[in-house]
Amino acid sequence: MTTPRCSKCSHAMDEGFILEHTQGGYLQAQWVAGPPQRTWWMGLKIRGREVRPIVSFCCSRCGHLESYAKPDGA
Ligand SMILES: [Zn+2]
């Protein structure tokens, strides 16, 4: 993926990710297809859903964020 330019100020953006801090440690946030559905034992149901890691770009000038959850191979 080429590094995008900020859609707000056209400055270069830095690649990163959204951090999730769980009891298991630090993780990369994931995109999950469909609306959130609660379960009583796991918090949210994700079984059978498409899950993709989120890559996020941050504008080094204005701080605007742009996130992508591309499918495998895209
Ligand atoms: Zn910007």
Asked if residue 74 has pLDDT above 70, the reply is no
39 in a domain, yes or no?
yes
**65 CA to centre of ligand 1 in angstroms:** 8
The total of structural domains in the chain comes to: 1
**58 CA to centre of ligand 1 in angstroms:** 8
60 in a domain, yes or no?
yes
**What was the pLDDT predicted at 2?**
79
Q: End-to-end CA distance of the chain: give it in Å, rounded.
A: 9
Q: Return the residue matching tokens 């953006």.
A: 13
73 in a domain, yes or no?
no
6-65, pLDDT tens digit by residue? 999 999 999 999 999 988 899 999 999 999 999 988 789 999 999 999 999 999 999 999
**6 CA to centre of ligand 1 in angstroms:** 5
- Residue range of the domain that includes 49: 13-68
74 in a domain, yes or no?
no
2 in a domain, yes or no?
no
**15 CA to centre of ligand 1 in angstroms:** 13
